[in-house]
Amino acid sequence: DAGVIQSPRHEVTEMGQEVTLRCKPISGHDYLFWYRQTMMRGLELLIYFNNNVPIDDSGMPEDRFSAKMPNASFSTLKIQPSEPRDSAVYFCASSVVTRAYSNQPQHFGDGTRLSIL
Amino acid sequence: SQQGEEDPQALSIQEGENATMNCSYKTSINNLQWYRQNSGRGLVHLILIRSNEREKHSGRLRVTLDTSKKSSSLLITASRAADTASYFCATDEGGSTLGRLYFGRGTQLTVWP
């Protein structure tokens, strides 16, 4: 089975440019998460969706960040304009909640390594 | 913070030795999960232990959970160089945060051949 697919794997761009990260979750999963990982701050949850609806975006650092999930098989995280401090690895993950209302494991993509010059 | 905290931050051992990592958390949970992250890759789920369980095994992994102390431990027995990775605990608190996991900062394990 295909796992969570993220693209691109690496992105290098100059500050001020728009950056779009893409994610395809595992089919049948109803939760999708966007995380950012840095050495300084560890793994931070940016936003998560349930059935394509944003549930909590309190982790989105600034208005420069936006995320969408137009359908169950695709999500984007956009940064506009980008700044050097946005450099990090961005992960997408998906999961499903069982009828017992307990989370099953989250499945992570291999991330997008973003460098803003 | 609702995040779990792993201890130690870094652990260095020889192949064949056992590795023990600890996780402490602050609130009541539905379950606690452990993940591994190899360099340059995403996190991979290892094992899940529910709040009504005290111990769970999976291959060379043994996880314990003490809800009274709000702590968990991950034991890797007979470690191998391939076990070198970062290990994270994550808590599922359910309720209004249904779906979300709270991850700790991780323990960096290095296993020397």
pLDDT digits (tens, 9 = 90+) for A48-75: 999 999 999 999 988 999 999 999 999 9
Q: Average pLDDT of chain A?
A: 93
Least confident of A4-8, A98-102, B99-103: A98-102
Sort A84 into a burial class: Cβ within 10 Å, 0-12 / 13-18 / 19+: exposed
In the structure, what pLDDT confidence band is assigned to residue A1 with cuts at 50, 70 and 90? low
Residues of B with Cβ-Cβ distance to A103 under 8 angstroms: 30-31, 33, 92, 94, 98-101
In the structure, what pLDDT confidence band is assigned to residue B2 with cuts at 50, 70 and 90? low
Strands B19-24, B71-76: pairing is antiparallel
> What is the chain A residue with the closest CA to B34?
A105
DSSP class of residue A85?
G
Whether residues A43 and B88 touch (CB distance < 8 A) is answered with yes
Alpha carbon of B90 to those of A58, B28, B51: distances in Å?
Answer: 19, 13, 13
Taking the mean position of all CA atoms in its chain, how far away is CA B112?
20
Q: Report the percentage of chain A scoring pLDDT > 70.
A: 94
Residue B58 Cα, gap to closest chain A Cα (Å): 15
> What is the chain A residue with the closest CA to B103?
A43
In the structure, what pLDDT confidence band is assigned to residue B1 with cuts at 50, 70 and 90? very low
Residue B88 has phi, psi (to 5 degrees) of -125, 140
- The yes-or-no verdict on residue A10 having pLDDT over 50 is yes
Residue A94 Cα, gap to closest chain B Cα (Å): 10
